[in-house]
Structure 1
Amino acid sequence: MSPNIYLRNLPKKKKMCGSNKQASEHIKRQHTIPYYAQRVRDSCTTRVTKILCAIFLCLILVVGVVFFILWLSLRPHRPRFYIVDFSIPGLNQHSEFENAQITLNVTARNPNQHIGIYYISMVGSIFYEDSNMGSSPLMDPFYQEPKTTTIVYHTFNVATLTVNSRRWKEFMDNRQQGAVVFRIDIMAAIRFKVSTWGSQHHKMHANCDVAVGQDGSILPAWKNKKCPVYFT
């Protein structure tokens, strides 16, 4: 067989269709130096953005923790009141209601570490079976330093008490049963003070039940009892 005949019988190469050729050229154009440079710039920009976001979130977290700690240290705590003594001299005498007296001794504790308390006014009331027996101012306005205790001592006398023979007889009857229970209500207008900043006025109440025995003195179980405190 002659060479010319052999060459004529060889399969001819197929021409590349237009669409495939264009796609190949497009891929080649993509994989050029500017393309890779752009990819590097995009990658760096993404990393810088992530780092900046991480730093920003860390700053927010640190600031939040600092403010939370400051809030815990500067958040005012309520004053604490405890009954030290309570007595009704002459409770064992049937005719003593005309000269009735009630002696009250409580302590007011400021538990705050850096916050003082202004007591603008303080009024005490004695209740028996939800009936108000009398009220009287307990102390003049004063300022209480942080972490200090103030003694509140007062005597309710016949001028501030409304005790008649019928009420005194009820005391005597309960006394025979072993105890006479009263309720103390201390109402105060206070204002918290932090450095040069002062809060608005708050109306505070401290309520305590207290019982006296047959001699008119406070029963041991009621001594140093903590009084619930609430604001209105």
Structure 2
Amino acid sequence: MNTSQQQIPIHYTPDDHHNRPPPPVNQGGRLRRHHSAHYYMHRVKESLTTRVSKLICSVFLSLLFIVGLITFILWLSLRPHRPRFHINEFSIPSLAQDNGFASAQATFNVTARNPNLNIGIYYDTMHITLYYQNQNIGGEPFLVPFYQEPKNSTILSDTLSGTKLVVDEARWAQFVAARMHGLVSFRLEVATAIRFKVAGWESKKHKMHANCEIGVGPDGLLIASYRVPKCPVYFT
């Protein structure tokens, strides 16, 4: 029978340090290494460089964010909004008469509103055109060029009659037939060119059209529900 061998502990005196065996290795089989001062200085320097780089990047990104935010706010406040148009009044007084075409005239009252807070609008001469079933039945150049202050309204009011309103017996018969159904529909177009003004800067000209749908009752007056919607505005 084999028996396990027992190791006898060996004790060394302080004078026997030359005879001591080398220190044991760690579990990984490698000796512990002690880094030099140069190594630690390099690590500290590398750490400081990384921190400074991160700080510079943070400052740059913060400045970029602030500049972008300011630019966005200025864009929102200075972004021009197109004018707004509303029909206030429209009437063809003689529409209640079957043979009223001889004295036919159309009276309109339209509001042009500049909704911008800090932006003015220059208008060229306006052209007013009245349509029935998408056919031109009259119109005229309206107003001389003018400037509209921010948050300001201008009333466009006039009467189309005579050569400005082309209505014959056949056309009037169509009006009367539609009147029997309680509604005669027209479309009033306002066409002009506008420029926006911000402080000392002016934009280029933009051709603008406002199309106002009009509904007239048997009495020749504008139906109340057509006063509420604003007229669609588009540029060409």
Alpha-carbon displacement from aligned partner over 1:50-83 (angstroms, at most 9, x marks no partner): 0000000000000000000000000001111110
Preserved contact between residue 98 and residue 158 of structure 1 (Cα < 8 Å): no
Equivalent of 2:48 in 38, 44, 50: 44
Cα drift, residue 125 of structure 1 = 0.7
Equivalent of 1:56 in 60, 66, 71: 60
Alignment RMSD (CA, Å): 2.0
Unaligned runs of 5+ in 1: 1-12, 15-22
Counterpart of 1:7 in structure 2 is: none
CA distance in 1, matches of 2:231, 2:44: 71
Alpha-carbon displacement from aligned partner over 1:164-185 (angstroms, at most 9, x marks no partner): 1100111111112212110111
Equivalent of 2:171 in 161, 167, 170: 167
Preserved contact between residue 187 and residue 203 of structure 1 (Cα < 8 Å): yes
CA distance in 2, matches of 1:37, 1:81: 75
Counterpart of 2:12 in structure 1 is: none
CA distance in 2, matches of 1:128, 1:198: 37
Cα drift, residue 124 of structure 1 = 1.0
Equivalent of 2:86 in 78, 82, 100: 82
Counterpart of 2:126 in structure 1 is: 122
- Counterpart of 1:100, as a letter, is A
CA distance in 2, matches of 1:214, 1:39: 93
- Counterpart of 1:223, as a letter, is R
Unaligned runs of 5+ in 2: 1-20, 23-29
Counterpart of 1:178 in structure 2 is: 182
- Counterpart of 1:153, as a letter, is S
The normalised TM-score by structure 2 is 0.84
Moved more, 162-171 or 130-139: 130-139
CA distance in 2, matches of 1:121, 1:191: 12
- Runs of 4+ residues over 4 Å off in structure 1: none
Cα drift, residue 24 of structure 1 = 7.1
- Counterpart of 1:214, as a letter, is P
Structure 1 residues 16-165: aligned runs within 5 Å: 27=33, 31-165=35-169
CA distance in 1, matches of 2:47, 2:215: 79
Cα drift, residue 122 of structure 1 = 1.1
CA distance in 2, matches of 1:54, 1:225: 50
Cα drift, residue 143 of structure 1 = 0.4
Counterpart of 2:198 in structure 1 is: 194
Aligned length: 211
Give the % identical residues.
51
